[in-house]
Structure 1
């Protein structure tokens, strides 16, 4: 088995099929030489890895994370599981299928789409983005009767912080179209009459 690592700096590697992976700090990727055959390509990963996959319709490329699987034909995408409570996938080009290992059929993501899978969930959730003019895309977070702990997990994963709240029995239905976490926290606190604690990781 071949094992690739990144310690304090990001490192790029070329795989046997000419696909290129960039491992972000404290990430790893491994594969067996026989995993790159005529009809499939398989790798195992931990941490955060960007993939630029060589197109081969006859041999789908499968990236196995801790509790999720991403299957592609040829594309560029990033898998981020640096937060132990969730796995995020962002697609730069092409199309991928993002599934929980023990879940359902999963969801299809295309260029510019982002999704997050919470630990223990059956399916990932799409994190919508909007863009106007030349301004950067702002994330649109959509919650529909979502338990507050799940809301905080999703926001924690996206903003790389730790959000906690003692009032865990409440649910939230709301949409936030902003990347200002403090604004989102304030709106949730006012809406649900709770107090949310934020800690930087």
Structure 2
């Protein structure tokens, strides 16, 4: 996994695997680059700069393509140099964009964009709206009970299996009066916090405007208001699987007791943008991770010349979040500090500042970069 170590940011930005990771969150590409970052933590800066260049180019040329604006050689070279200069690196010749000196029409513009970003930018740009709550409910043959929260405060909903939903204002849910079949199914529009009674033999599904959440027993929040630009699933405890309503093999997922799709653990979330041209789920940490209930009682976060590996292990166990670092490079690093109720990211900021390191999150994992102590 060393073949990318000596490339420049602009070269990495044009790599197809790197593009699939950054632009479409392709699972195979994501797994590869996460592993590559773990093995090459000193190259985090290279990845950051390449990602900035790629995303800036993607936004600029995707907009021009959607507006059917022709793109000339000089425009491409100018944009590359401008974005490259913004990264505070010397301008280099970009040999990939040396085309014949003619004025391009629409067909040539498509080829230019194809060379930059791959086949996915040529897909039809029809707006996706997902499957609405009303459409889902009308497809169900058995009678459903509906609860609609028209108040200004959260409302507790008790389900037949003793699970509960804290239903937020302007939200509604529908469900069967008894969960008699092989699965428990809930239909949601809006926001609800679910505490699901564990039953591995009868999976629990939440269908929310194109987003499907599947659990066996856990607690999590689904926020999926109809017409919203983004929808979220945030996990408090246990493991949750999330996928979209229109994904292939949906029926197969519904008939199994395994957690498939994108699996989330505590303090992780999924963000889904149904109106985007290319459907994908973006996995990350929640904005304010909180300690797990049992772990919060066990860890005081008081360290005296503690090896940094011990510090990161304590944070991992407390928040249920994976922290990746090069233990060999940081073997001499230690910490003397005492923390109380500071947010996790404040703790990480203080720790990294003390040991001259940096951190970033990738797909719900914290990655620490350091040259040693």
* TM-score normalized with structure 2 length: 0.35
Correspondences of 1:145-164 after superposition (within 5 Å): none
CA displacement 1:12-67 (0-9 Å, x = unmatched): 01100000101001000001235x12521001000000000000000000000001
Contact 1:115 1:124 in 2 (8 A): yes
Contact 1:106 1:123 in 2 (8 A): no
Q: Is 1:10 the counterpart of 2:165 in the alignment?
A: no
**Runs of 4+ displaced beyond 6 Å:** none
Q: Classify 1:44/1:61 alpha carbon distance in 2 versus 1 (closer, same or farther; 3 Å).
A: same
Contact 2:267 2:285 in 1 (8 A): no
Provide structure 1 residue ranges, at least 5 long, that are not aligned to the other structure. Answer: 140-174, 178-201
Corresponding position of 2:267 = 112
In 2: Cα distance, 1:38 partner to 1:88 partner: 27
Correspondences of 1:1-201 after superposition (within 5 Å): 1-7=144-150, 8-33=152-177, 36-82=179-225, 84-103=228-247, 106-120=261-275, 121-128=278-285, 133=339, 134-138=341-345
In 1: Cα distance, 2:220 partner to 2:345 partner: 19
Query: Shift in Å at residue 136 of structure 1?
Result: 1.6
Provide structure 2 residue ranges, at least 5 long, that are not aligned to the other structure. Answer: 1-143, 249-259, 290-314, 316-338, 347-358, 362-373
Query: Shift in Å at residue 103 of structure 1?
Result: 2.6
Contact 2:155 2:167 in 1 (8 A): yes
SS of 2:197's equivalent in the other structure is: coil
* TM-score normalized with structure 1 length: 0.63
More helix per residue: 1 or 2? 2
Q: Classify 1:135/1:99 alpha carbon distance in 2 versus 1 (closer, same or farther; 3 Å).
A: same
In 1: Cα distance, 2:266 partner to 2:234 partner: 8
CA displacement 1:53-91 (0-9 Å, x = unmatched): 000000000000001100000000000123711110110
Q: Which has the larger radius of gyration?
A: 2
Query: Shift in Å at residue 138 of structure 1?
Result: 4.3
SS of 2:192's equivalent in the other structure is: strand
Query: Shift in Å at residue 176 of structure 1?
Result: 7.7
Please tell me the root mean square deviation across aligned C-alpha atoms, in Å: 2.5
In 2: Cα distance, 1:38 partner to 1:137 partner: 42
Q: Classify 1:11/1:57 alpha carbon distance in 2 versus 1 (closer, same or farther; 3 Å).
A: same
In 2: Cα distance, 1:100 partner to 1:106 partner: 9
